[in-house]
Amino acid sequence: MIQADLAKTSSHAAFNSHCVTCHIDHTQQPPAKAVAPYLIADPAALCARCHDTGEVKLRETHRGQPFAKARCTECHDPHGSSSAHLMRAGQHEPFAQRQCESCHAEPENGAVKLKKAAGELCLGCHAKLAAKIGAAPWKHTPLAKDPGACLDCHNPHASTLKALAKAPVVAMCQKCHAETGKKEFVHDPVKSDCTLCHDPHAGLKAGLRAESNALCLECHSTASQSKFEAKGSTLLFGGQVTLPPHYFQNLKLIDLNNDRGHPVANHPVLWKQDPEWPALSCTVCHNPHGADKSASLLVTESETFVSLCHRCHK
Q: Are residues 155 and 79 in the same domain?
A: no
Between 161 and 24, residue with greater pLDDT: 161
- Look at residue 6 in the predicted model and tell me its pLDDT: 63
* Domain contains 246: no
* Domain contains 188: no
- Look at residue 32 in the predicted model and tell me its pLDDT: 61
Say which DSSP state 146 is in. -
Say which range, 1-5, 42-46, 100-104, 161-165, has the weakest mean pLDDT: 1-5
Say which range, 175-179, 220-224, 277-281, has the weakest mean pLDDT: 277-281
Residue 228 has pLDDT above 80, yes or no: yes
- Look at residue 69 in the predicted model and tell me its pLDDT: 83
* Domain contains 106: yes
- Look at residue 28 in the predicted model and tell me its pLDDT: 67
Q: Are residues 28 and 40 in the same domain?
A: yes
Grade residue 47 by pLDDT with cuts at 50, 70 and 90: very high
C-alpha to C-alpha distance for 194 and 212, rounded to whole angstroms: 17
Grade residue 84 by pLDDT with cuts at 50, 70 and 90: confident
Provide the mean pLDDT of the chain. Answer: 89
* Domain contains 216: no
Tell me: cis bond preceding 263? Omega within 30 of 0 counts. Answer: yes
User: Quick one: how far is CA 1 from the chain centroid?
Assistant: 19
Sign of CA dihedral 280, 223, 170, 300: positive
C-alpha to C-alpha distance for 176 and 199, rounded to whole angstroms: 16
Question: Do 122 and 114 meet the contact criterion of CB atoms below 8 Å apart?
Answer: no
* Domain contains 34: yes
Structural domain boundaries enclosing 35: 2-88
Q: What is the pLDDT of residues 187-210, one digit of tens each?
A: 999 999 999 999 999 999 999 999
* Domain contains 224: no
- Please state the domain count of the chain: 2
Residue 314 has pLDDT above 90, yes or no: no
- Residue 208's nearest CA partner among 199, 219, 218 is 199
Q: What is the pLDDT of residues 230-262, one digit of tens each?
A: 888 999 999 999 999 888 878 899 988 888 889
